[in-house]
């Protein structure tokens, strides 16, 4: 059994925020793979489903970002899920928009949701880092992550969500490379014309007329034969 946690803030006010991209990811997985309806539990919203024989619990903490660890701890304790079987989907300032990385363990890099999970669970859980880009000035970070994705960002965001959903079975099976490849095929699909460009054959050259070797007398005689 695995616990997949999407990080964000509850309520319609925050639904489209960059900080809520983790919520968006688990929502897409639940919708596309026939998971059960979301229900209240463990200080959050929970949905359950399977990828083959692997049971996966999806969790959206409703404690607000800074207290996410409380909800994660409650769900992990109830289902007796070890920290190594927990995967957290979260926004990542240090990655360009649409980029994605997998990481097992390590620091929280100042992310308040991860900081809270560290406090309650330790640091050995896995993370799916979802790039949202950086505003360029650290003083603008709070406003940036709590603002909605721009309309122009919709296409890459939708491709990213589709890719995460496509790769979810591989992630559940522990195949991180296959998961990332599924995302890449959506975010940066190969060009349609990847084969070798056909070589155009040159137009055939007109044959030069044969050299006329007749004598002047023969040419004159031939003219009278016509």
- Backbone Cα Rg of the chain: 31
> pLDDT tens digits for 116-164?
999 999 999 999 999 999 999 989 999 999 999 999 999 999 999 999 9
Confidence grade of residue 220 (pLDDT, cut at 50, 70, 90):
low
Domain residue spans of the chain: 2-187
| Active-site pick, 19, 90, 108, 120 | 19
CA distance 39 to 52: 22
Q: What is the pLDDT of residue 50?
A: 97
DSSP assigned state of 204: P
19 carries an active-site annotation: yes
Q: What is the pLDDT of residue 107?
A: 87
- CATH number of the domain at 2-187, out of 3.30.70.260, 3.20.20.140, 3.40.50.1470, 1.10.357.10? 3.40.50.1470
What integer is the mean pLDDT of 72-82? 97
What integer is the mean pLDDT of 35-56? 97
| H or E segment to which residue 219 belongs | helix 216-225
Reported pTM? 0.82
First to last CA, the chain: 99
Q: What is the pLDDT of residue 213?
A: 62
Percentage with pLDDT > 70 across the chain = 84
CA distance 34 to 37: 9
């Amino acid at each position: 059994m695995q616990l997949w946690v999407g990080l964000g803030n509850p309520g319609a006010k925050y639904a489209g925020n960059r900080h809520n991209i983790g919520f968006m990811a688990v929502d897409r997985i639940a919708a596309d793979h026939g998971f059960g309806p979301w229900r209240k539990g463990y200080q959050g919203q929970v949905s359950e489903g399977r990828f083959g024989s692997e049971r996966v619990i999806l969790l959206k903490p409703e404690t607000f970002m800074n207290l996410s660890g409380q909800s994660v701890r409650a769900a992990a304790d109830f289902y007796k899920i070890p920290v190594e079987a927990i995967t957290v989907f979260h926004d990542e300032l240090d990655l360009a928009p649409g980029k994605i990385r997998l990481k097992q363990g390590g620091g929280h890099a100042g992310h308040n949701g991860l900081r809270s999970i560290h406090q309650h669970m330790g640091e050995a859980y896995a993370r799916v880092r979802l790039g949202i880009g950086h505003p360029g000035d650290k003083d603008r970070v709070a406003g940036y992550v709590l603002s909605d994705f721009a309309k122009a960002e919709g296409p890459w965001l939708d491709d990213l969500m589709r890719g995460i959903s496509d790769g979810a079975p591989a992630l559940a099976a522990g195949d991180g490379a296959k998961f990332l490849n599924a995302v890449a095929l959506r975010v940066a699909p190969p060009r349609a014309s990847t084969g070798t460009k056909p070589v155009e054959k040159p137009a055939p050259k007109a044959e030069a007329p044969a050299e006329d070797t007749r004598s002047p007398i023969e040419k004159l005689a031939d003219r009278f034969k016509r």
